[in-house]
Amino acid sequence: AFVSSFIVKDTRPDGRPFSMCRPTHISTDILQKHTAGSALVKLGDTQVLCGVVLKVGVPNTADTGDIQCDNDPNLEQLLMSVLNLKCLLIEPGKAAWRLQISWQILNDDGNCDDAKVLAAVAALRNTILPPVQLITNNATTKTNGIVEIQDDNGITKGKPLEFTTCPVPLTVGLCSLANHQGDSEGKNDNTLLIADPTVEEQVVLDGTLTIIVDAMNDSKDILYLRHSGMMGIGRKELAVSAHMAYERAKELDGILYAG
């Protein structure tokens, strides 16, 4: 009955078309005292806060810094692939920045995964690396720490992170009309694609597809693809979902860069 009510009207409980995401708002520099970068994302009534904390570690084998995400290895791998990690190097073989990224879900009205990605990207774009120099013990030649470099006016001038891509996510809910008696009457397709599903809509989904594309370049590269649930997805549904993701990237490109 729930699915029938909005399929017949060709709309959704909140009035959106199936392909439309909820209004998205991004605010940066929310946590000024305890982070190097931060962002708050409001995706409809879903709200996610993200902060980036700078730590100093030993460079990896490629002589770069790295990123650590709280309990999300997939997102950690994605974010490491979109940054120029060389910019995190402080001194070859001795020290590099480690970006610790954490989230707080303030309100869950569905699709928190997309909000987390957007919040992380916005927080990283808001992050400034301070200029530092190593403090070395001459007797042991070991590094004891770092100190920020200030100009003649006592001001520390840092540099932003270097992005190679700008990831924008879109999660699409998959709903099999065949599983809902009477819902498919008058419909040519057996699969309903629901962009940016709410908590109310997630209850009736048979699966989800998350596509992350690059908003920085025009190559239409898919940076990440994840399918979950028992329902399969065909080429047509994949193509339509990808097109929706590209349109979402265009929509959020200015918002991410402005934030």
Tens of pLDDT, residue by residue over 210-248, are 999 998 877 788 999 999 998 888 899 999 999 999 999
pLDDT at residue 258, as a whole number: 61
SS (H, E, C) 17-42: CCCCCCCEEEEECCCCCCCCEEEEEE
Instruction: Quick: pLDDT tens for 27-54.
Output: 999 998 889 999 999 999 999 999 999 9
Q: Summarize the confidence of residues 7-32 as an average pLDDT.
A: 88
Task: Identify the band that residue 149 occupies on the pLDDT scale cut at 50, 70 and 90.
Answer: low
Q: What is the distance between the alpha carbons of residues 178 and 185, in angstroms, rounded to a whole number? A: 10
Arithmetic mean of pLDDT over the chain: 85
What percentage of the chain carries pLDDT values higher than 70? 83
Confidence of residue 193 (pLDDT cuts 50, 70, 90): very high
Name the percent of the chain lying above pLDDT 90.
Answer: 57
Residue 172 scores a pLDDT above 90: yes
Residue 93 pLDDT level (bands cut at 50, 70, 90):
confident
Say whether pLDDT at 208 is over 70. Answer: yes
Q: What is the pLDDT of residue 147?
A: 62
* Helical packing angle, 112-125 and 235-258, nearest 10°: 40
Residues 27, 251, 113: CA angle, nearest 5 degrees: 60
Closest CA to 103 of 119, 83, 127: 119
End-to-end, the C-alpha distance of the chain in Å comes to 41
Q: What is the pLDDT of residue 61?
A: 82
Residue with tokens 């987390």: 116
